[in-house]
Amino acid sequence: MKRFSMVLLALLFLIATIQPVLAAARVWELDKGHSNFYFSVDHIFSKVHGQFNDYSGEIRFDPDNLAESRFHFAIKTASVDTNIAKRDKHLQSADFFDSAKYPLLTFESTKITDAGNGLYEVLGNFTVKGQAYDLVLPLSFAGIKDHPAAKGKEVAGFNGKVTIDRLVHKIGTGKFYDLGVVGKDVEIFVSLEALSSK
Amino acid sequence: MVMPKNSQSNNRQLVRKLRISCIIGFLVIVIGGAISIPFIYESQTLWYKIGVDKTMLRAGQITGLLAVILLFVQIILAVRGKFLQELFGLPSLMRWHRVNGVLVFVLVLCHVTLVLAPEGFLNLPIGMKYWPELVGLILFLIVFVMVVSSLFRQQLGFAYIRWRTIHKSLGYLALVLVAIHVLFVSESFEHSIPRTGLIAAVATVVIIVFRVKTAALQKKRKQ
């Protein structure tokens, strides 16, 4: 009886420890040197391009286990870079991101669906200025391959575009839009490379 | 022809008044010209400011430019050229120098406050890409140290000779830094007229300092 109990306990322990390992999707580490969150927005007639230089991310992705896959990004608004320091400072002010009060933009996926042809629709909560909004980020999965430069590593690639209305997200009050200076639609281009040990 | 003593004295007074009027007139023109820069050569930063923010930023630019001119005046007063000494007398020059120093500090304080307020005091321009603004911060600290150490030299226990050496060095350093700060921080100074004007003003101050110092050195050698 005692022996049976010991075996049962050992089995339960094994199940408890192995199951999450089996269920969790593969963890990928963002290659920050080759990833970014770019954006472009209309300025009267032209387009102003920018990017965020400081962000963190967590990717768990397995095409065969989408239920356990997830994407989480946290972007520091103070790292906005449009190649003009004074414009960046203005974007960080209360007129736009209000970085002092709201230092982060976050995206936390809640559901990933396979739309076919390597396209995944990542539904998640996009939090801007403390307010969460539903956002579908369509990510095109470029595939997984051995990293040509780093031995023992595999690289996965994702690219996606989404357009958001900055005024809906309260990035600005609309005064510059009303003046016809800054557009309200912001095109966001997400380009990611993520690494994982083989 | 021999002129009566009274008439000679009257003539001297007239020439003195004329010279003072010329100096005041020149200062008024320079100050007027500097104040017009944020209006004539409006920076793009001003284009994107509305209402109170725009007023504050423009006022900040004006106070900054006034501080720059008074800083130049301060250095010219400090070297005490023969021309100014004869015109105003040494005690007046030194009194003016002290008052002007405090005025420069007040203007710099107003400039910093008014320029930073529109973007928010929690959104300060810190980091390598804001290096011209950081040069401004160093300048602010230099002016602060110069004014405080001058007003409270004895209370702070600074020996006169040591204080004077540091005060002078910081003054010349401020001249260099203010030129760098203005030329690189302000979009208005990307235009050739303000840029040339500033460079000419700095060059004028440097020439005046050089000439006064050279003359003083020659006088010392002769003695």
Nearest Cα residue in chain B from A92: B123
Query: Has residue A2 been placed in a domain?
Result: no
Whether A119 shows a pLDDT value over 90: the answer reads yes
The residue ranking higher by pLDDT, A20 or B90, is B90
Q: Distance between CA B57 and CA B116 in Å, rounded?
A: 8
Q: Taking CB atoms and an 8 Å cutoff, what residues of chain B touch A94?
A: 120, 123
Taking each helix axis as running N to C, give the angle between helix B52-79 and helix B192-222, from 0 to 180 degrees, rounded to the nearest 10.
20
Nearest to B50 among A88, A99, A175 (CB): A175
Query: Has residue A125 been placed in a domain?
Result: yes
CB pair distance less than 8 Å for A176 and B125: no
Percent residues over pLDDT 90 in chain A: 86
The pLDDT, as a whole number, for residue B45 is: 93
Residue A146, classed as helix, strand or coil, is strand
CB pair distance less than 8 Å for A90 and B120: no
> Within A24-171, where are the H helices?
85-92
Residue A140, classed as helix, strand or coil, is strand
Beta pairing class for A70-76 and A104-116 = antiparallel
Residue B144, classed as helix, strand or coil, is helix
Q: Which residues pair with A194 in a beta bridge?
A: A30, A156
Q: A124: domain CATH number? A: 2.40.128.110
Residue length of chain B: 223
Distances (CA, A) of B47 to A103, A170, B39, B54: 26, 22, 11, 8
Which H or E element spans position A96?
A: none
Query: Has residue A113 been placed in a domain?
Result: yes
B118 touches chain A (CB under 8 A): yes
Whether A2 shows a pLDDT value over 80: the answer reads no
Q: Distance between CA A117 and CA A2 in Å, rounded?
A: 56
CB pair distance less than 8 Å for A101 and B122: yes
The boundaries of the domain holding residue A81 are 25-197
The pLDDT, as a whole number, for residue A145 is: 96
Banded pLDDT at A93 (limits 50, 70, 90): very high
Ramachandran bin of A38, using left for φ above 0, alpha for ψ from -120 to 50, beta for the remaining angles: beta
User: What value of ipTM does the predicted structure carry?
Assistant: 0.83
Residue that the structure tokens 């200076």 belong to = A181
Whether A28 shows a pLDDT value over 80: the answer reads yes
Question: Could you give the number of structural domains in chain A?
Answer: 1
CB pair distance less than 8 Å for B130 and A100: no
Q: Taking CB atoms and an 8 Å cutoff, what residues of chain A touch B45?
A: 86, 90
Q: Distance between CA A104 and CA A98 in Å, rounded?
A: 10
Give the residue from A89, A91, A92, A98 with the most B CB atoms within 10 Å of its CB, the best one to mutate: A89
pLDDT mean for each 10 residues of chain B (223 residues): 70 90 96 97 94 96 98 96 93 96 98 97 95 98 98 96 97 98 96 97 97 90 82
Residue B51, classed as helix, strand or coil, is coil
Query: Has residue A78 been placed in a domain?
Result: yes
Percent residues over pLDDT 70 in chain A: 88
The pLDDT, as a whole number, for residue A10 is: 58
d(CA A85, nearest CA chain B) in Å:
6
The pLDDT, as a whole number, for residue B105 is: 98
Lowest model confidence (mean pLDDT) among A18-32, A70-84, B30-44, B168-182:
A18-32
The pLDDT, as a whole number, for residue A56 is: 96
Residue B164, classed as helix, strand or coil, is helix
